[in-house]
């Protein structure tokens, strides 16, 4: 129903095998899309960066979207970014230039990535997440709705220091991460927290400002009585690379890298 070949392609666009492009979508110059990927309707891929409006000799930087990706409708992805395989987005996503995402990442509806950021593999941004410039995010980091990462400690200023988030950490709904904050691995940031200090690995922090409540390995499972839920990788595998073999076995082979 969606794919009537009613789209526009710029110059030097390279489409892999079986790529589908939705009606009303525009793909600008120098975009590459991997095999079997689907770009739904009314998307903009390779949106020209600001220089385009003032520079007559503007050349659109390269944009790469990996194989088996699914970009849902009305999303805008600027030029000069690179996304790995199995990349997915919700609707109306905005991703600015110089964004790097590994494989198997997803970005939810309305999320807004300001560019100049780096994500590892298997990161999941839910709906309406805001990622500031200069953020650095590890692998298997999930970020929940209405989380905002910030980068200016004395607004407005010329300082721009993005937060860093370690592997496996979970940044839950509505929390704010202050500029330059370092969140370790396997952390859990509670809903509605304002994180103003660095967070040690394996910590649950919570509140405004966020303070440490416990080690995440003390948190009870809601699913298996008497057991612990974290590290979550032992209890959750939907879409994860250890789905078929379990996290412990997978750790030894780390197939995803």
Question: By the criterion CB under 8 A, which residues form the site for a second copy?
Answer: 1-2, 10, 23-24, 26, 28-29, 38, 41-42, 44, 47-48, 52-53, 60, 70, 73-74, 76, 90-92, 94, 109-110, 112, 114, 127-128, 130, 142, 144-146, 148, 150, 153-159, 170, 172-174, 176, 178, 188, 191-192, 194, 207-208, 219, 221-223, 229-230, 232, 235-236, 238
Closest CA to 186 of 176, 171, 197: 171
Q: How far is the CB of 219 from a second copy (least distance, A)?
A: 7
Class of residue 222 by CB neighbours under 10 A (exposed 0-12, middle 13-18, buried 19+): exposed
Nearer to a second copy by Cβ, of 44 and 101: the residue is 44
For 123, left (φ over 0), alpha (ψ -120 to 50), or beta?
A: beta
Q: How far is the CB of 114 from a second copy (least distance, A)?
A: 8
Is residue 137 within 8 A of residue 123, CB to CB? The reply is yes
Q: How far is the CB of 31 from a second copy (least distance, A)?
A: 12
Nearer to a second copy by Cβ, of 223 and 244: the residue is 223
Nearer to a second copy by Cβ, of 17 and 222: the residue is 222
Record the tokens describing residue 169, joined without a space.
Answer: 């950490």
C-alpha 127/C-alpha 37 separation (Å) is 22
Question: Tokens 């860093």 belong to which residue?
Answer: 164
Nearer to a second copy by Cβ, of 53 and 226: the residue is 53
Is residue 177 within 8 A of residue 147, CB to CB? The reply is yes
Nearer to a second copy by Cβ, of 156 and 226: the residue is 156
């Amino acid at each position: 129903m969606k794919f009537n070949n009613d789209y526009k392609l710029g110059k030097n666009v390279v489409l892999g095998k079986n790529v589908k492009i939705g009606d009303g979508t525009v793909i600008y110059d120098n975009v590459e899309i991997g095999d079997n990927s689907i770009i739904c309707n009314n998307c903009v891929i390779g949106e020209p960066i600001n220089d385009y409006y003032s520079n007559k000799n503007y050349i659109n930087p390269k944009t790469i979207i990996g194989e088996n990706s699914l970009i849902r409708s009305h999303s805008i992805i600027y030029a000069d970014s690179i996304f790995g395989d199995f990349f997915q987005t919700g609707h109306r996503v905005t991703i600015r230039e110089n964004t790097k995402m590994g494989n198997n990442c997803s970005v939810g509806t309305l999320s807004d990535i300001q560019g100049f950021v780096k994500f590892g593999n298997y990161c999941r941004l839910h709906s309406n997440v805001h990622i500031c410039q200069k953020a650095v995010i590890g692998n298997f980091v999930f970020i929940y709705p209405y989380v905002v990462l910030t980068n200016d400690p004395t607004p407005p200023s010329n300082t721009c220091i993005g937060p860093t988030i370690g592997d496996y950490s979970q940044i839950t709904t509505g929390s704010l991460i202050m500029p330059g904050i370092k969140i370790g691995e396997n952390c859990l940031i509670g809903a509605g927290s304002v994180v103003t200090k660095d967070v040690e690995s394996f910590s649950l922090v919570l509140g405004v400002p966020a303070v440490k409540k416990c080690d995440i390995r003390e948190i009870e499972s809601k699913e298996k009585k008497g057991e612990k839920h974290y590290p979550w990788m032992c209890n959750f595998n939907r879409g994860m690379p250890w789905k078929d073999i379990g996290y412990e076995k997978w750790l030894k082979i780390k197939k995803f890298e």
